[in-house]
Amino acid sequence: MNEFESGTTARETSDTVYEVVFTPVLERPEYQREPIHGKLLALREAMGEEDFNRYINSLLRITYNGRALWLITRSERNRTLIEGKYLPLIAKIFDVAAPRVFSQP
């Protein structure tokens, strides 16, 4: 593991603070199983690659059990844009009545 330089002084390092590299949703192992993987691919096709990467592939977490869908994003702005522009499409593709979008800064 690489050492992480803290901001306290120029050369201090910390053994307890480290950086975790963000992994896009479609590359995470927990989203490789069906039916969620196929639904994410269908959503990418419907939204377009650029918007999918910006709003869905950057999510912190997706919870889907076949009846309910929760999307957790890191910004309130993205939550508002997903709800305003894509919520009906997401509900249709995932076949859920009321998907929920949360922001967790």
Stretch 3-20: mean pLDDT, rounded? 60
Percent of the chain residues topping a pLDDT of 90: 74
Among left, alpha and beta (phi > 0; psi -120 to 50; other), residue 99 is: beta
Residue 38 has pLDDT above 60, yes or no: yes
**Between residues 33 and 13, the one the model is more confident about:** 33
Least confident of 8-17, 23-32, 46-55, 88-97: 8-17
Stretch 26-45: mean pLDDT, rounded? 94
Neighbours of 69 (CB within 10 A): 22
Residue 11 pLDDT: 53
Q: Which two tokens stand for residue 12?
A: 């201090």
